[in-house]
């Protein structure tokens, strides 16, 4: 048995977007001291770094058991679903896709996206600390992508509402709402906060993995004219996200019974 890990992100034409992902994957890779190959790959837009390229690289290293981690914010992402289907994790996708099946020779385990995991809450609390002056008199507006498909939209709502509850409890914030771009509900959720807590400052926080169009254009456009504090900081860079990759990988290694965990670093 030789395990290997493939961390799959969406991809971007923006070099900084890709470099943030790569830095996170490399940090996770270092935790295994070379005992487990860890490769980053992208769904699209990054030449010679696509999912089939990553699969071939791991196969060339002799990997027999593969953990594919979808490095996405939410299980409500249709990309998470279509990637899982193309890898062979399940028989049919729940959404239309242009992907074709990938050739996967290793025994595959398909991991999970961030959703409400502890590490994403940690990152968001740190981002809020950059904006906050007095959480007791502040309300949160968590802005995420969302979906136009009901089944996937429901998953986005579950995850973002769960995160709002964690941020309120752990950060001591007075109120919180999750607002999705699909459907366009940012202004509606802002007004709901204002009605409930008219004197609060509102802190708007983007729930996006790396900086780019959504954090710098799409979200500010929805917030235009709404009284709130927003700095556009995405989740990356943050060390908690490499720890998230390592935690999910170590749990998988333990589950498949590999001796790598006994030889590797447990720090």
Say yes or no to pLDDT of 148 above 60. Answer: yes
Predicted local confidence at residue 212, as pLDDT: 87
Crossing angle for the helix pair 51-60 and 78-87, to the nearest 10 degrees: 40
Say yes or no to pLDDT of 262 above 80. Answer: no
Of 178, 175, 101, nearest to 142 by C-alpha is 178
Tokens of 39: 């490769």
Say yes or no to pLDDT of 202 above 60. Answer: yes
Whole-number average pLDDT of the chain: 95
- Tell me what the mean pLDDT of segment 26-35 comes to: 96
Predicted local confidence at residue 259, as pLDDT: 59
Predicted local confidence at residue 267, as pLDDT: 39
23: buried, middle or exposed (CB in 10 Å: 19+, 13-18, 0-12)? middle
Say yes or no to pLDDT of 263 above 70. Answer: no
User: Alpha-carbon Rg of the chain, whole angstroms?
Assistant: 19
What gap in Å lies between CA 35 and CA 28, rounded to an integer?
12
Say yes or no to pLDDT of 23 above 80. Answer: yes
- Tell me what the mean pLDDT of segment 224-228 comes to: 97
Say yes or no to pLDDT of 215 above 50. Answer: yes
Q: Are 139 and 176 in contact (CB under 8 A)?
A: yes
Digit-coded pLDDT (tens) for 43-75: 999 999 999 999 999 999 999 999 999 999 999
Predicted local confidence at residue 42, as pLDDT: 98
Q: Are 212 and 203 in contact (CB under 8 A)?
A: no
CA angle 24, 147, 18 (to 5 degrees): 25
Residues 6+ apart with CB under 8 A from 262: none
Q: Could you tell me the sign of the dihedral formed by the alpha carbons of 173, 200, 240, 11, in that order?
A: positive
Give the DSSP per-residue string, 133-153.
Answer: S-GGGEEEEEEEEE-SSHHHH
Say yes or no to pLDDT of 264 above 90. Answer: no
Digit-coded pLDDT (tens) for 72-91: 999 999 999 999 999 999 99
pLDDT band at 258 (very low <50, low <70, confident <90, very high): confident
- Tell me what the mean pLDDT of segment 194-215 comes to: 95
Whether omega before 151 lies within 30 degrees of 0, making that bond cis, reads: no
50: buried, middle or exposed (CB in 10 Å: 19+, 13-18, 0-12)? middle
- Tell me what the mean pLDDT of segment 149-169 comes to: 97
Give the DSSP per-residue string, 19-86.
Answer: HHHHHHHHHHHHTTTTSS-EEEEESSSSTT-BHHHHHHHHHHTT--EEEEEE--S-TT-HHHHHHHHH
Enclosing H/E stretch for 6: strand 3-9
Whole-number Cα distances in Å, 97 to 66, 90, 254 = 23, 14, 33
Predicted local confidence at residue 260, as pLDDT: 60
Record the pTM. 0.93
What gap in Å lies between CA 260 and CA 250, rounded to an integer?
10
Q: To the nearest whole percent, how much of the chain has pLDDT over 90?
A: 93
- Tell me what the mean pLDDT of segment 183-212 comes to: 96
């Amino acid at each position: 048995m030789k395990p290997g890990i493939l961390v799959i992100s969406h991809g971007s034409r923006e070099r900084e977007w890709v470099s943030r992902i790569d830095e996170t994957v490399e940090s996770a890779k270092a935790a295994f001291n070379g005992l487990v190959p860890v490769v980053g790959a992208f769904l699209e837009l990054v030449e010679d770094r696509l999912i089939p390229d990553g699969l071939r690289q791991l196969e060339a290293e002799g990997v027999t058991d593969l953990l594919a981690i979808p490095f996405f914010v939410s299980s409500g992402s249709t990309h998470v679903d279509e990637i899982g289907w193309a890898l062979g994790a399940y028989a049919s996708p729940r959404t239309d896709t242009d992907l074709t099946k990938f050739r996967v020779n290793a025994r595959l385990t398909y991991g999970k996206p961030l959703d409400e995991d502890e590490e994403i809450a940690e990152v968001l609390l740190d981002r809020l600390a950059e904006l906050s002056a007095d959480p007791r008199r502040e309300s949160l507006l968590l802005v995420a992508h969302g979906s136009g498909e009901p089944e996937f939209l429901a998953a986005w709502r579950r995850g973002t509402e769960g995160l709002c509850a964690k941020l309120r409890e752990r950060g001591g914030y007075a109120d919180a709402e999750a607002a999705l771009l699909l459907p366009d509900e940012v202004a509606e959720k802002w007004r709901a906060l204002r009605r409930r807590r008219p004197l609060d400052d509102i802190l708007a926080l983007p729930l996006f993995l790396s900086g780019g169009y959504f954090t710098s254009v799409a979200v500010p456009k929805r917030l235009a004219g709404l009284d709130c504090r927003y700095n556009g900081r995405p989740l990356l860079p943050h060390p908690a996200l490499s720890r998230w990759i390592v935690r999910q990988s170590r749990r998988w290694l333990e589950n498949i019974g590999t001796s790598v965990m006994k030889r590797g670093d447990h720090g």
